[in-house]
Structure 1
Amino acid sequence: MGFLKYKGYTGSVEYSEEDNCLFGKVQGMSKHTITYEGQTLDELRQDFEGAVEDYLASCAERGVEPCKPYSGTFNVRVSPEIHSAIAAMAQQAGVTINAFVRQVLAKEAKLAY
């Protein structure tokens, strides 16, 4: 599966053998569903961008803040041993556990922190 990106939104790229078309859905939207389709990758990209624009325009018309695909907050359950090790490494680095985990995740995701 591939992905499209537009204005901070990420959409999937999938193929339906039954319908003989490409389709997708904006990822990470818990309260809204934004879908799109096309016969070619260019058509799919245009419909994806149009769907995002329609969503943003609809929110503006209603005076509501558009949902962001990801809130930036998630919970991860780990064993007490891992929690303790992370806390020790964070303390040694002179940062909070949250800052330490953000740094590690950004490095692994190859993103600038």
Structure 2
Amino acid sequence: MNTMTYNGYHARIEFDAEDDVFFGKIAGISDIIGFHGDSVAELKKAFHEAVDDYLETCRRIGK
């Protein structure tokens, strides 16, 4: 299994050959947070943004 890690969060990464895109979901949290990118660099950036947005949302709602 392919994974990425950022700021203590892990994501499972897959590749969709039909759509020619990488996609992932943040693991180990009760919410479903997904992200995608056309390249590894885009995927990594999208993952970082997803984690940062998730943490900001949790902070705002007191979660």
Whichever residue aligns with residue 49 of structure 1, its letter is H
Whichever residue aligns with residue 14 of structure 1, its letter is E
Q: Which runs of 5+ in 2 are unaligned?
A: none
Which structure has the greater CA radius of gyration?
Answer: 1
Percent identity over the alignment is 37
How many angstroms apart in 2 are the aligned matches of 1:22 and 1:43?
Answer: 9
The aligned residue for residue 43 of structure 2 is 44
CA RMSD, 1 decimal: 1.0
Q: If each structure's helix is expressed as a fraction of its own residues, which one has the higher value? A: 1
Report which structure shows greater RCO (CA 8 Å, sep ≥6).
Answer: 2
Q: If each structure's strand is expressed as a fraction of its own residues, which one has the higher value? A: 2
The normalised TM-score by structure 1 is 0.53
The normalised TM-score by structure 2 is 0.91
Aligned length: 63
How many angstroms apart in 2 are the aligned matches of 1:59 and 1:10?
Answer: 17
Whichever residue aligns with residue 22 of structure 1, its letter is F
Q: Which runs of 5+ in 1 are unaligned?
A: 65-113
Q: Secondary structure at the match of 1:19?
A: coil
